[in-house]
């Protein structure tokens, strides 16, 4: 879905971009998606540093990123890279855009938003895809730190940029993750778009242009570092 965005990112910053075709629910519920993500991460850790002629990408450092379900996958795979692969030092940063980080349904997921504008998501739809991804689990069970990144130990993670709009039903997920990331002494840059919905980059305006500028500046800073 994001081929054009990935191509633009690659050209703008001169970096290779790998887009992961991970398995999807309901046919493949948790943990199939994160399992695929960590498998790709492990492959990249082993092969990305090789030259292009040898089947690599010519760099041994990674930046993880994604939007919506991909934002959740970014956080989930990043934590597994730290805990399972002991390779967090190979990750320069994480670009996490309006992901699900509290699968126990945060207040905004339940409809309690600071702005009641239109959104691509609604509480009924969120409950539907949550039940597809995590069938048979209660809200409390879905807040297991291995499932919901906002409840995990966030110490020792790389710099992150988190983005969300105030009309997004996933607003509180981003705010909770950003606050806990910062409290764990993490380097966190937070973009909050007034009145913007889920998937706001699909609606060109001055605010989305500001988000693009801030995101590009973050990538430039992380790559320079």
In the chain, what is the greatest distance between 2 CA atoms, to the nearest angstrom? Answer: 53
Is-catalytic flag, 68? Answer: yes
Instruction: Strand 91-97: give its sheet, edge to edge.
Output: 62-67, 91-97, 160-165, 188-193
Angstrom distance (rounded) from CA 191 to CA 25: 29
> How many alpha carbons lie under 13 Å from residue 96 in its C-beta half-sphere?
33
67 contacts: CB under 8 Å, gap ≥ 6: 2, 97, 98, 99, 199, 201
Provide the pairing of β-strand 62-67 with 160-165. Answer: unpaired
- Give the active site residue among 130, 148, 169, 198: 198
Q: What are phi and psi of 145, to 5 degrees?
A: -55, -25
- Give the active site residue among 68, 106, 108, 148: 68
Is-catalytic flag, 169? Answer: no
Q: What are phi and psi of 62, to 5 degrees?
A: -125, 150
| Torsion angle defined by CA atoms of residues 36, 37, 43 and 48, in that order, rounded to the nearest 10 degrees | 150
Is-catalytic flag, 195? Answer: no
Question: Is 20:37 a contact under the CB 8 Å cutoff?
Answer: yes
Element (H, E) at 162: strand 160-165
- Give the active site residue among 36, 102, 168, 172: 168
Give the residue numbers annotated as catalytic, written as ranges.
68, 168, 198
């Amino acid at each position: 879905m994001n081929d054009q965005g990935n191509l633009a990112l690659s050209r703008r910053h001169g970096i290779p971009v790998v887009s992961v075709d991970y398995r999807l629910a309901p046919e493949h519920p948790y943990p199939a998606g994160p399992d695929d993500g960590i498998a790709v991460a492990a492959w990249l850790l082993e092969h990305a540093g090789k030259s292009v002629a040898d089947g690599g990408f010519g760099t041994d450092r990674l930046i993880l990123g994604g939007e919506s379900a991909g934002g959740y996958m970014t956080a989930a795979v990043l934590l597994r890279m730290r805990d399972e692969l002991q390779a967090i030092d190979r990750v320069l940063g994480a670009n996490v855009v309006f992901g699900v980080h509290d699968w126990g349904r945060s207040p905004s997921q339940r409809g309690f938003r600071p702005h009641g504008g239109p959104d691509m998501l609604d509480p009924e739809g969120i409950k539907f895809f949550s039940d597809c991804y995590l069938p048979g689990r209660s809200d409390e069970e879905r807040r297991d730190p291995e499932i919901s990144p906002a409840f995990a130990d966030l110490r020792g993670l790389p710099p992150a940029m988190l983005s969300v709009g105030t009309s997004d039903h996933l607003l509180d997920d981003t705010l909770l993750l950003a606050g806990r990331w910062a409290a764990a002494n993490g380097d966190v840059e937070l973009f909050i778009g007034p009145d913007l919905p889920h998937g706001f980059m699909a609606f060109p305006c001055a605010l989305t242009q500001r988000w693009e500028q801030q995101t590009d500046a973050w990538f430039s800073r992380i790559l320079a570092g």
